[in-house]
Amino acid sequence: MSGISNVFYPNVTALPSQGPAKDTGPAKKVPGDFDKMLDQLSERSLPTESLKQPIKFSTHALQRLRERQIELSSERMTKLTEAIEKADSKGLIDTLVIMDDAAMIVSVKNKIVVTAMDRDSLSGNVFTNIDGAVIV
């Protein structure tokens, strides 16, 4: 992840009442269009019409998208772009973007998705090192 050394990794932990997180083992390989979409994202840059700078994805975020089988349709990318624009207009730097069944931590300044979580990973977690949230 050269060039993005100033980007943080959020501390996402389970609540004490839930006990330690369970290791579910290695992620399963997802064949087909989903892999093609992730391969396109592996260039770590996705041009968008409204942003001056394209949205990029950290290696960590790409890994989480693949493991958690989070698809980024054009509709979802449009929502993500709009969320980043809203966060930027409010002066936010590191933002939690919550969508219908997923959430992403985004470095607004750098337009980099740092990590991604699915709905199951959201419940009971604490998100630190963010200065705002956008719900789309």
What is the phi/psi pair of residue 132, to 5°? Answer: 180, 170
Instruction: Summarize the confidence of residues 3-21 as an average pLDDT.
Output: 46
Q: Which amino acid is at 88?
A: D
Percent of the chain with pLDDT over 90: 51
Q: How many whole angstroms separate alpha carbon 10 and alpha carbon 126?
A: 9
* Of 78, 70, 41, nearest in space to 57 by CA: 41
Task: State pLDDT tens for residues 69-126.
Answer: 999 999 999 999 999 999 999 999 999 999 988 999 999 999 999 999 998 888 888 8
Q: How many whole angstroms separate alpha carbon 87 and alpha carbon 134?
A: 7
Instruction: Summarize the confidence of residues 42-61 as an average pLDDT.
Output: 70
Judged by average pLDDT, the poorest of 39-43, 52-56, 107-111 is: 39-43
Output the DSSP codes for the chain.
Answer: -TT-TT------EE-GGG-SPPP--SPPP--THHHHHHHHHTTS-B--SS-SS-BEE-HHHHHHHHHTT----HHHHHHHHHHHHHHHHTT-SEEEEE-SSEEEEEETTTTEEEEEEEHHHHTTEE--S-SEEEE-
Percent of the chain with pLDDT over 70: 62
Give 15's pLDDT tier (boundaries 50, 70, 90): very low
